[in-house]
Structure 1
Amino acid sequence: MAQQSQDIQLSNRLHTLRMNGQAHELPKLILLVTSEADKDKYGSTFNTVMCKPLRASTIASCLQQLLKVDIPARKENQNRPSFLRSLLVGKNILVVDDNKVNLRVAQAALKKYGAKVHCVESGKDAISLLQPPHCFHACFMDVQMPEMDGFEATRQIREMEKKANEIKREQSSSGEGSTFVEWHLPVLAMTADVIQATYEECMKSGMDGYVSKPFDEQQLYQAVSRLVVGTADSAS
């Protein structure tokens, strides 16, 4: 139930229903808010109040508590940390975000699984580092940055890769190079806006997927497990 301008009126109506003894007929009510202050304001009216942006693990925990459902831990969840570490340990990951707090959060999350993390604060800095050949295995790219956003930065990265691949293809066909493997750095968008239009723009610009901010272990697992994090090893 999204928070609207009629929140006060809605709260009064719900309070009246509960006072009239009809609370047992009401479904579980969850209010989505944008600040901790709103959680305190509406906490007595709703079964629970959740702050946006939402994360899958938070939603699952909330529903499990409200519906009193005992969900046994899946083997996949138990193996998730070791799986992430096997993919990320020793890998060079570039994180691009103009917000220093977001950079620290992303850096800490990736380092937890053994990744070597390098951070920059602009799309232009990312482009200068990702001119082939480079040593990076994947890039987490914020989509909203001044000067150059993540979409444009990714488009330019793909153009650089295209030119590098054309050169390698010519060298391979003339016998000057070894087995030809194309450059394609996995780029994951970092965004708090997960609407369909944003997803489509990510794909159109050449990104490989996205994680919503702030991202947690589950999101990192789902995103990284779809990618083969070894591009730099094979392309260098």
Structure 2
Amino acid sequence: MSTHDHERSPFGQFVDELEESIIALILGLMTLITFVNVVLRYIFNTGLIWGFEVTNVLFAWLVLFGLAYTIKKTANLGVDAVLNVVSPGLRRTFGLIAVAVCIAYAALLLKGAWDYWANFANLPQTTGRWFPTGFEEMKRTSYRSWYEMVDTPMPDWLRFIEPWINEGEAYEKIPRFIPYVLLPFGAAMILIRFIQAAVRIWTGAEESLIVSHEAEDDVADVAHMNKED
């Protein structure tokens, strides 16, 4: 049974295709907005005033989605010079140490991402300096959902949220809690992926977090086919 056989189940394939589609969609939107903006600027002497801001947000989304997907596929870069000269048991130990550090980092990242996003979503930030020990006490004066983006206008189809989170006050620009929601979501996905990687290393399905050698295997397969020809 290979490392990622569990991902070949129908549900695993669906999740893979969904993640890949989201990443492709984000990249496509970034490319399209940038292209349209260049054409408008150099041909029509105008432009999308919100284009740069939206592209920046999409790039942040792409980084977080891509990082979580890379961890899942064991495609992250790493140096395996030491791992290649130690025994399999020691290699597994090093892998567990590395993934434990990554889990701790991802947990800190999740706390920071939640606290930053909560600042714009009328939600309490966590207490505690390093790890959450609870949630702060919220008062009405603590509500911060009125923070808006700088250039991106508020579309009419999103105005249903105004009575729910902004006390009926109209937004001129998109509220920041909408694009920033991917910060805690992406950090949570990264944490989950590292925990899954820890389970795979613990059970012996993988030895480390180092980039998989699928490309080398494919080259070897092609070379073997050429020899047969």
Q: Taking structure 1 as the reference length, what is the TM-score of the superposition? A: 0.27
Tell me which protein shows more strand as a share of its residues. 1
Q: Which has the higher contact order (CA 8 A, sep 6+)?
A: 2
Q: Taking structure 2 as the reference length, what is the TM-score of the superposition? A: 0.28
Tell me which protein shows more helix as a share of its residues. 2
